[in-house]
Chain A
Amino acid sequence: MTTVRPAGEETEVVSQGIRPAWRNDTEFLVEAGRRLSASLNTRRCARTTTELAAAFLADVAMVVLPPTRRRAGWLRGVAGQTGLEEGEIDLAAAAEVPGLAEALAGFPPVPSRWLDSTQTPVWLLPEGFGPVGHLLVTPLPGNGVPAGALVLARREGAEPFDDKTEALVRVFAARAGAAISAAVLYQEQSATNAILTGDLLPPPLTGLEGVRMAGSLRASQQAGLIGGDFYDFYLPDADALREDPGRRPLVTLGDVCGKGARAAVLAGQVRHSLRTLLLVEGRPERIVRLLNRSLLASPAKSPFVTMVLGAVHSAPDGHTRLELAIAGHPAPLVLRADGAVEEITDRGTLLGALRTIAPALATVDLAPGDVCLFYSDGITEAFGGPTGGEMYGTARLKADLATCAGMPVAALVERLEQLNTGWLADGVEQDDRALLAVQAAPPAARVPAGGGSGGEER
């Protein structure tokens, strides 16, 4: 078997980092298969293709990606050099390269000897590369549509691309093309997915005067960020306030029957319904009853929802009063500044099942620094502990909450989530878990200038 080496290289090709020396075409293809099958990211697949080709097949290798809006991205690697260059060209420029327009259109490759390497445009090559002796342009076959093209060049005086090499390049291009097109497909679908799930993620919790809030949501399905638990808050708009000056902001935390995407979609609908209902109604009890009617009319198969809904009233002396309606949901806990924890015991009936419901009603007065904690049953029903077979339970949640007196709400929520996660047994399927803490702003708390909200990606 003939092994083609780039000019100037003898036994080992090193283009970046430590790379094994491939002794023959088979070893090269095995390594190519291993590395190309690893990623579902378009750029990384293109990068791997370029690196492999530059290390084994030519003096310079360039992958041109499928064009979008008449422009195509490219990556270029040079044998024996570290790092890749990246750029973009328009299709008119691509057409200057002999055979490239045809390859990008998915036409079968032509043998290298038919391509006039003297026509190679200067931009194709790195600066100082010198004249090209041999050019080989190969389409990267994809899922029906081409996945771009592979351009290989060897210096003047180097060995030409023989039939065997051209056959090897076609096999390599087929693997690279399959990897890149799978990645393109995945990227498109995950972009769609990101748009669809964007609205289902919990909202940032800022902008409610006199109140501090923090929340945490852990979906049971590890790969997904969404599930049937939700929390949200709503500010009444100016028109609603004109009609009813007593209209208050709402906070809610709830749990939709089921898990995963299906539950998340219904949770999203509930959140939108609440936003709309606040335009016409401000009393939590009335809103919960209206939501129940809406759920009963829903085409969803089992639209069962439990939730806590609270209207946030500001009271004298920096106090905050929560007017709560609880529908079949674990009742919130209240942490006083001195560490005492109180529980509102009534759960009320769940929504979406019965025509007549009886939500539990309660009013909670929060002195500055007091915290009202909303949580879902995934928290208390977390299964694990030191022996692996115990429920976390409400008593433990209350005891842990009591240790959080005096903490900023963000720290409180993080600590409770941490203790709860620590409790979970590894490998047991868990429920979604949600926490939302609402605190009447502590006495000395002022909002500092330039404070961002932490933890999110940018």
Chain B
Amino acid sequence: MNKLALAHDLEAAAEQYLERIGHADEFGAVDLALNLLDDGVPAETLLLDLIAPAQRRVGELWAANRWSVAREHGATAVSDRVVAAIASRVRSEPVLGRVVVACTDGEYHALSTRLLAEVLRLRGWRVDFLGASVPGTHLITHLHQKGPDAVALSCTLPTRLPRAHATLTACQAVGVPVLAGGPGFGSDGRLARLLGADGWAPSADAAADHLQAGGLPSSPASMDAMAHLADEEYTQLVRRRPAILTGAMDALADAYPPMALYDERQMESTAEDMAHVADFLAAALYVDDVAVFTDFVTWTCGVLQARGVPPEALVRGLRVFRDQLREFPRARRLLAEGIRSAHAAETDDADWENER
């Protein structure tokens, strides 16, 4: 099969594939993938050019409020089964070293990590896939027992970066180098470098290339502490999180009288949203990176707008935190930038409405 025909076939298949996983049609999705495999489409192409893009679409459809949470999770579960079906059909002899693939503790976006595990397996690595949310101690025990050549650590959400950093450091402390990946480390990998990862890759095939080219040192370098943490803003925010959140909820109720009419469920989801803001703020403080916070604000505005909620709702929350965190100059700067991003998102939205 030539490349053009293959690309064309995949494009047609991608629509069908999305349709099938969207209906949790496991049988149909597995059949579709295995038929392509039988037609000569390489397994790695199926994983990276059919399943991975479909998964990105699933995330977008959820964010745009076109798919429910249930549908999103159903589709992901089916894709996971498809990956398993492809893996069981294609055997590869492990001729290279051993790699441990794991999601950071608290991370449940395992499908993209699983795709990496399968790509590495196809390329001839012996892979231990530890799956979603791997506790740090469990991972380190595994490293002692199996003595792999490298750990591929995934972090999807920036809020897990402090945990990812602890895990990464622990792996390096037992002498195993770490290849970092996933959007949590920044689209350009800057946060992976900041946290001292031995390597970073933007995609599964790039990660496989990096490992194959011997891009990781056999023994990881130790790294210095991050100087910006000396102001203790991150430490204080995390330590006082419950009190800060309680205070923020009270201040929000004062600033926004309609909250008095919220039922229990509404109050709870507001509290969850505020907790989310605090967690992203903490992560941004930890890595001293404005974009970690403003990207979150912009993304959240999009998600809110798709559900008919104006960005002003988020801005109210950001203001409350800014007024509360008087002794946190770095956090206040981040919040000010966040408010600016939310306003920008609002304007974009208004422009867009006008164009229509």
Contacts and interface: CB of A to CB of B under 8 A. Distances in A.
Contacts of A7: none
A224 B163 CA distance: 19
Interface string A16-50: 11110000000000000001001111111001100
A129 interface: no
B322 interface: no
A457 B129 contact: yes
5 contacts: A410-B77, A421-B108, A452-B88, A454-B83, A458-B128
A44 B175 contact: yes
Interface in B1-54: 24-27, 30-31, 34
A448 B30 contact: yes
B241 A388 contact: yes
Interface stretch (B216-224, B255-263, B304-312): B216-224
A82 B71 CA distance: 49
Interface stretch (A255-263, A307-315, A401-409): A401-409
Interface in B259-293: 265, 268, 271-272, 274-275
Interface stretch (B130-138, B178-186, B187-195, B334-342): B130-138
A167 interface: no
Contacts of B265: 399
Interface string B87-106: 11100000000000000001
Given A44-B176, A411-B77, A449-B85, 12 more contacts: A39-B143, A39-B147, A41-B146, A186-B144, A187-B145, A386-B271, A407-B74, A447-B27, A449-B34, A450-B89, A454-B84, A458-B128
Contact of B85 (A385, A399, A450): A450
A408 B218 contact: no
Nearest to B221: A18
A453 interface: yes
Contact of A388 (B73, B221, B242): B242
A48 to B, nearest CB: 7
Interface of A: 16-19, 35, 38-44, 47-48, 51, 82-83, 183, 186-187, 190, 194, 222-223, 225, 385-389, 399, 403-408, 410-412, 414-415, 418, 421-422, 444-458
B85 A452 contact: yes
Contacts of A407: 24, 70, 73-74, 77
Say whether chain B's binding surface is mostly helix, strand, loop, or mixed: helix
Given A222-B135, A225-B138, A452-B87, A411 B144 contact: no
A429 B146 CA distance: 28
A452 B219 contact: no
Among B25, B80, B146, B173, the one with the most A-chain Cβ atoms within 10 Å of its Cβ is B80
A223 B73 contact: no
Interface string B214-242: 10111101000000000000000000011
